[in-house]
Structure 1
Amino acid sequence: MNNFGIMSLSLDHENHYIHQMAKYGHDLGFTLYHFVPSTYHPFTHTVKGKKYLPESDAWLESEFPVPTILYDRCFYHDDSHSIQCKNIIQWLKKQPTITFIGNGLPNKWELYQILRESKLAAYIPETFLLQSANQVNFQSLNPVIIKPINGSQGNGLYFIEKSKEGILVRTDKKEQTVEKIFSDRMTFNKWLNQLLKRSSYLMQAYLPLSNQEKQPFDIRALLQKNTQAEWKVIEKGVRIGEKGRIISNLSVGASIHAFEEWFRFTPFKLKSFLKQEMEEIFTLLPSILENSFSALFEIGVDIGITPDGSLWILDVNSKPGRKVIMTAYPHLCEKLYKAPVLYAAKLADDKRRNLDEKAISYRNNH
């Protein structure tokens, strides 16, 4: 039996997904574990978490050696627990006995610097690292969007616009869009500088990514490697936010639609050209990322289209959620539950083959 560990910042995170994965993992010869990296004990090389018991289809709380194959599903923020888990994972990645099924991507700023120099540069909105409120220049950019360098699910994203009344700041909370008007630049700068003390932020020109009904929308594509280590587009789904919202994230009540069905009724001109552009992105992106960083298993790509038909890469994520694809295409659920363990099985076979080849080579040379 191979040991396959799934890591998250809490044992309550993605429970349904992890449970389904565990059921398929057992059929492929894996013992499945779920743990939080901060429980790692450096002297015993053990962690505390849960072990999947196939005979009762349940989980047993236990302490166990770090599994040999790991799947990182940790979503980091700027808190101390995230930093602790991140440091432990970085250390585990250096251990020769441990294999990660994907190594993850750096923060949004490092990612931007690679993508703006790549063949996909035309699809990347110009982005600035925001270190002081004085950098917000409304003569050159108005309105602007600022978002955290390590953010996910649209958390901490702000829309900022200068008007006659003052400086308007809006952000989406679960229940509603919250807005505040600063009457002068000094009070706005004070607010923004306080925000920048807590987290690092990026700034971009605001892109009008709404449909004719003034609903924000974006396209989420999920790419994964198959058992031959070839990248495949699993599917594309569309998130449509509530009217007047800034973002179309599920955390603030967006609806989900299958891409082709939605695309058929959109008013965009040159639809075949837009599809070609998307295919170009999905073909080029994995190799750009893996050549600059390290091996990946899956990528979530968020794409926006402005009313004039311009296509933009809004975000690239190495730990994508599956809700958009599973909701739009329920028949793909089983495939998505199986994919990580199938790929883990391929990596375990590769590792075994390499060890066998080394052993044969050693015997032949001695």
Structure 2
Amino acid sequence: MNKFGIMSLSLEHENKYIHEIAKYGRNYNLTIYHFVPSTYHPFTHTVKGKEYMPDSDTWIESEFPVPTILYDRCFYHDDSHSIQCKNIIQWLKKQPNITFIGNGLPNKWQLYQVLRESKLAAYIPETFLLQSANQVNFQSLNPIIIKPINGSQGNGLFFIKRQKEGILVRTDKKDKTVEKLFSDRITFNKWLNQLLKRNAYLMQAYLPLSNKDEQPFDIRALMQKNVKEEWEVVEKGVRIGEKGRIISNLSAGASIVAFDDWFPSIHIKLKSFLKQEIEEIFSLLPSILESSLSPLFEIGIDIGITPNGSLWILDVNSKPGRKVITTAYPHLSEKLYKAPVLYAAKLADDKRRNLDEKAISYRNNN
């Protein structure tokens, strides 16, 4: 049996998803493990975690050699444990006997550098690396959005607007939108500079990405590689946030609808052209990323549409969630759980075939 390891920052993280993946392991000659990278022991080259037992559909705690095929589901923050795990994973990627089913993407700023020079540049909002509050020029950009370069799920995103009464700052929390009004630039700068000491941020012009009912919305597409190394769009769903919110965040109460159910209802001219643009993004984006960065297995793509029909790539994620797709298309759940197993099995077969070919070549040359 080939050994397939799934990594996360905690053994409690994504338990349901990882358990569902594990159920298909034996069908494809894979033993499934779940572990935290920080448990790696440099002298024994082992890790501590859990091994899936298919006969009883349970996990047992175990210490085992690092599996030769790995799936990274670690969502990093700026804490010491995240940094430790990230460093270990970077080291593991350099080991010749270990293969990752996908290598991940860099932070949002590095990703922007790649996309702004690509064929998709027209769909990328102009973005600035925000290092000081003095960079915020309300005469050229107002309102603005700022977001962490390592952020996900809308965490740490702020809407900022200069108005008569002062500078308004808004952010979405799980249960409400929080606002603060700074009466002058000095107090605003002090707040923002304190924020920038904790995290690196990006700045963009605010895009009006709401529908006629003032609900923020975006399109989430999930793409994955199949065993033929071809990219496929698994499906597209639409997240529709609560009225008055900044973003359509699921944790803040956004609803989910299937793309094909939603699309006929939108009040935008040239719908067929819009659909062609979306398809163009899907056809070009994976090759752009892989040619400039490193091989991937899956990506989540967030696309926004302004009232005038302008299309914008809002985010690209190499560790996408599945809630949008499984909610809008429940029948795809099994396909999503099997996909990492199928691709891991394909990579394991490729490794075995390469070893066999090297062995035959060695014998023929000696």
- TM-score class, shorter-chain normalisation, is over 0.9
Partners of 1:80 and 1:189 lie apart in 2 by 28
1:29 Cα deviation from its structure 2 partner: 1.0
1:12 Cα deviation from its structure 2 partner: 0.8
| 2:158 maps to amino acid | Y
Residue in 1 aligned with 2:287? 287
Residue in 1 aligned with 2:51? 51
- 1:103-162 CA deviation, whole Å, 9 max, x = no partner? 000000000000000000000000000000000000000000000000000000000000
Residue in 2 aligned with 1:359? 359
SS of 1:24's equivalent in the other structure is coil
Partners of 1:264 and 1:14 lie apart in 2 by 34
Partners of 2:127 and 2:243 lie apart in 1 by 26
Partners of 2:81 and 2:268 lie apart in 1 by 45
Partners of 2:268 and 2:315 lie apart in 1 by 22
- 1:311-340 CA deviation, whole Å, 9 max, x = no partner? 000000000000000000000000000000
Partners of 2:30 and 2:351 lie apart in 1 by 15
Q: Report the more deviating stretch, 76-85 or 206-215.
A: 76-85
1:79 Cα deviation from its structure 2 partner: 1.0
- 1:54-100 CA deviation, whole Å, 9 max, x = no partner? 11100111111111100000011111111111000000000011000
1:8 matches 2:17: no
1:22 Cα deviation from its structure 2 partner: 0.1
How many equivalent residue pairs? 366
Partners of 2:26 and 2:237 lie apart in 1 by 30
- 1:215-260 CA deviation, whole Å, 9 max, x = no partner? 0000000000001010000000000000000010112111000001
Partners of 1:113 and 1:73 lie apart in 2 by 24
1:73-222 matches, within 5 Å, as 73-222=73-222
RMSD value, Cα: 0.5
Partners of 1:250 and 1:25 lie apart in 2 by 30
Partners of 1:116 and 1:333 lie apart in 2 by 34
1:2 Cα deviation from its structure 2 partner: 0.5
| 1:250 maps to amino acid | L
Partners of 2:235 and 2:206 lie apart in 1 by 27
Residue in 2 aligned with 1:30? 30
Residue in 2 aligned with 1:249? 249
| 1:306 maps to amino acid | T
| 1:352 maps to amino acid | R
SS of 1:103's equivalent in the other structure is coil
Q: Report the more deviating stretch, 26-35 or 218-227.
A: 26-35
Partners of 1:264 and 1:194 lie apart in 2 by 45
Q: Percent identity?
A: 84
Residue in 2 aligned with 1:347? 347
1:356 Cα deviation from its structure 2 partner: 0.7
Partners of 1:264 and 1:343 lie apart in 2 by 35
Residue in 2 aligned with 1:226? 226
Partners of 2:357 and 2:7 lie apart in 1 by 31
Partners of 2:143 and 2:278 lie apart in 1 by 27
1:284 Cα deviation from its structure 2 partner: 0.4
1:308 matches 2:304: no
Partners of 2:55 and 2:70 lie apart in 1 by 23
SS of 2:169's equivalent in the other structure is strand
Q: Please, what TM-score do these two structures have when normalized by structure 2?
A: 0.99
1:290 Cα deviation from its structure 2 partner: 0.3
| 1:20 maps to amino acid | E
| 2:303 maps to amino acid | I
1:25 Cα deviation from its structure 2 partner: 1.2
Q: Which ranges in structure 2 are unaligned for 5 or more consecutive residues? A: none
Residue in 1 aligned with 2:235? 235
Residue in 2 aligned with 1:66? 66
- 1:189-236 CA deviation, whole Å, 9 max, x = no partner? 000000000000000000000000000000000000001010000000
Q: Please, what TM-score do these two structures have when normalized by structure 1?
A: 0.99
1:365 Cα deviation from its structure 2 partner: 0.7
Residue in 1 aligned with 2:42? 42
Partners of 1:124 and 1:113 lie apart in 2 by 10
